[in-house]
């Protein structure tokens, strides 16, 4: 019996299967449907143009597929919709007036698509909205000035788009707003004072061009737990009110134009990476100049005190501080950086920043018995990979360059490339880099540990290959596709990996895929021909490229 003949159906949930091809046209004849969920499949068609026939729909979820085309105009016939999610597809076009009549809509998620154009003013008429996510698209223009008409809004995410202009001051009238993400746009102006009238617990407006001082009205946000103002043009001093906001568990003011003395209370509560990249700051923070001397003088007068230092994953600091022969490493398995301690190891003083008071360089050496071969779990394009269980129980994977490899300029370049790329990327299907160590005697990267190892190894093991059924395999392909789509379409400038192979796809216990090994990755210059010499693993690049290994060849994933 065809599904379209079941006229009395009121709910269909086929999510998380292996459905391929288009959405069956017969579904639009099930006019009694109130809920339709086809998420987490491989549907690769456009949304049926007559989806508006399903006028009783309350819940529509087509997320995490390969849907293309635009949102059909007939969607505006679905006046009863309460939940609408098309996230993680390849939907293009504009957010026009397709949802202008959905007066009951409380959840709208169109994130991680390829939608362009401006955010239409019609969205502000959906006054029942509580969740609005348009992130990771190609939206441009300004945020609608009367965003405050969405008076019930709890969660607003417009991050990773191309938005410009000021943050609307009217946003201060969204009295119920708890979560605000506007990061990775081109927003300018200052932080609206109206933020202080909200009940926000999460603010991320990083990676914009916001200027001015940090608004003292933020000090009125008694529920604020997460604050990220990094990578902007903020100036002035670190405001005193931040020291008294003890409820904040994570703060990032890095890469701005802040200046002046770092408050002692700030030092006691937050790690150095929260303020790096502010050349005008000074104080008793490790890695920061004294307020009595210049940065250069401070570094020259006390070279031994900070001979080894643990800090954030930052290529800028890596190059800058390597001039003075320093060692920088930062372990960020979580954000609870609590303490600092200084120890003496082999005659050198180590200044250690860690997240639970126990993780340190010597703990890594101890956990691997100075990188004993028995802890080696594999070898990569460069170096060997070790498993390290640290005193707090956390397990990490360490990729280490051997001493001979550490002298090869090409391998060092790959190491630095991986640090730079992974320090800027945040995606659920891309392997997380927790830290790095750069020193002529010791070079290694600290990664999240993947229990099942590489896809290549799993497929070669008969028992694990059987366990890796088709559902899991499809999810692995989708995970890799989402990661590559993020690198190619949602990152500026776009990044090409250039070595996607089964050896560079790692799996956790749930067989979730994570793309790794970014040593050959590079950004795409829009003015470039995108041609390069051959890189990658033979067997995974175009056959024509393999035959022309010494000639110019286009990068292919």
Per the annotation, binding residues are 399
Binding-site annotation: residue ranges for ATP: 399
Residue 387 CA: distances (Å) to CA of 383, 451, 513: 14, 10, 19
User: How far apart are alpha carbons 447 and 454 in whole angstroms?
Assistant: 14
| For helices 409-424 and 315-322, angle between their N-to-C axes, nearest 10 degrees | 140
- Do the bridges between strand 131-133 and strand 211-213 make them parallel or antiparallel, or are there none, so unpaired? unpaired
Secondary structure (DSSP) of 383-450: SEEEEEE-TTS-EEEEEEE-TTGGG-HHHHHHHHHHHHHHHH---TTBPPEEEEE--TT-EEEEEE--
Residues 350, 356, 359, CA angle at the centre, nearest 5°? Answer: 40
Active site residue 499: yes
- The SS3 assignment for 109 reads strand
* Alpha carbon distances (Å) from 313 to 44, 155, 328, 431: 38, 29, 8, 14
The SS3 of residue 453 is strand
Tokens of 23: 């959405």
- The answer to whether 397 and 449 have CB atoms below 8 angstroms apart is yes
In whole angstroms, what is the distance from residue 71 CA to residue 86 CA? 9
Cis peptide before 381 (omega within 30 of 0): no
User: Which is catalytic among the residues 148, 157, 499, 517?
Assistant: 499
Q: How far apart are alpha carbons 341 and 354 in whole angstroms?
A: 9
Of 127, 230, 224, whose CA–CA distance to 178 is shortest? Answer: 224
Contacts of 208 (CB under 8 A, 6+ apart): 182, 183, 184, 185, 186, 187, 188, 231, 232
Q: Quote the DSSP letter at residue 46.
A: B
Q: What six digits make up the tokens of 104?
A: 């009951």
> Under 8 Å CB-to-CB from 360, ≥6 apart: which residues?
310, 341, 343, 350, 352, 354
Residue of 139, 133, 192, 137 whose CA lies nearest to 163: 139
Q: Is there a contact between 298 and 274 (Cβ–Cβ < 8 Å)?
A: no
For the beta carbon of residue 336, count every other beta carbon within 10 angstroms: 13
- Assess contact for 390 and 364: CB atoms under 8 A: yes
Q: How far apart are CA 71 and CA 93, in angstroms?
A: 8
Torsion of the alpha carbons at 79, 156, 118 and 483, rounded to the nearest 10: -100
Question: Catalytic residues, which ones?
Answer: 499
């Amino acid at each position: 019996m065809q599904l379209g003949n079941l006229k009395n159906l009121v709910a269909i949930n086929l999510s998380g299967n292996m459905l391929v091809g288009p959405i069956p046209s017969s579904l639009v004849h099930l006019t009694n449907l109130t809920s339709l969920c086809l998420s987490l499949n491989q549907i690769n068609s456009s949304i049926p143009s007559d989806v508006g026939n399903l006028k009783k729909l309350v819940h529509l979820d087509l997320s995490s597929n390969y849907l293309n085309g635009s949102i059909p105009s007939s969607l505006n016939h679905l006046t009863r919709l309460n939940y609408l999610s098309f996230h993680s597809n390849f939907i293009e076009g504009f957010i026009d007036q397709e949802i202008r009549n959905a007066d009951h809509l409380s959840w709208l998620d169109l994130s991680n698509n390829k939608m362009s154009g401006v955010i239409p003013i019609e969205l502000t008429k959906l006054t029942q909205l509580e969740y609005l996510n348009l992130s990771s698209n190609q939206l441009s223009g300004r945020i609608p000035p009367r965003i405050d008409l969405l008076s019930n809004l709890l969660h607003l995410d417009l991050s990773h788009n191309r938005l410009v202009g000021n943050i609307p001051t009217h946003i201060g009238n969204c009295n119920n707003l708890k979560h605000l993400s506007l990061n990775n746009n081109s927003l300018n102006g200052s932080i609206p004072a109206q933020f202080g009238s909200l009940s926000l617990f999460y603010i991320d407006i990083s990676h914009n061009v916001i200027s001015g001082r940090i608004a003292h009205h933020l000090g009125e946000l008694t529920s604020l737990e997460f604050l990220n103002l990094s990578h902007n043009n903020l100036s002035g001093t670190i405001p005193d009110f931040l020291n008294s906001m003890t409820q904040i568990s994570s703060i990032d003011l890095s890469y701005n134009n802040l200046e002046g003395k770092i408050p002692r209370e700030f030092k006691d509560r937050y790690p150095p990476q929260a303020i790096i990249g502010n050349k005008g700051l000074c104080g008793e923070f490790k890695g920061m100049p004294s307020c009595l001397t210049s940065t250069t003088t401070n570094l020259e007068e006390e070279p031994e005190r900070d001979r080894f230092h643990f800090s954030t994953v930052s290529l800028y600091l890596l190059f800058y501080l390597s001039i003075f022969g320093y060692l920088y490493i930062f372990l960020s398995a979580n954000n609870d950086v609590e303490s600092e301690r200084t120890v003496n190891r082999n005659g050198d003083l180590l200044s250690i920043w860690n997240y639970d008071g126990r993780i340190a360089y010597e703990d890594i050496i101890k956990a691997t018995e100075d990188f004993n071969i028995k802890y080696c779990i594999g070898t990569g394009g460069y170096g060997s990979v070790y498993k390290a269980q640290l005193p707090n129980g956390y397990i990490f994977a360490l990729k280490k360059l051997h001493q001979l490899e550490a002298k090869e300029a090409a391998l060092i370049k790959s190491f630095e490339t991986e640090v730079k790329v992974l320090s800027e990327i945040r995606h659920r299907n891309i392997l997380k880099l927790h830290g790095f160590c750069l020193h002529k005697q010791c070079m290694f990267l600290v990664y999240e540990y993947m229990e099942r190892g590489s896809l290549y190894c799993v497929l070669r093991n008969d028992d694990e290959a059987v366990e890796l059924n088709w559902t899991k395999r499809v999810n692995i392909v989708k995970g890799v596709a989402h990661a590559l789509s993020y690198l190619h379409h949602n990152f500026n400038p776009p990044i090409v990996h250039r070595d996607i192979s089964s050896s560079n796809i790692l799996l956790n216990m749930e067989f979730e895929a994570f793309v790794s090994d970014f040593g050959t990755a590079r950004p795409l210059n829009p003015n470039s021909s995108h041609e390069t010499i051959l890189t990658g693993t033979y067997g995974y690049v175009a056959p024509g490229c393999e035959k022309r290994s010494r000639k110019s060849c286009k990068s292919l994933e």
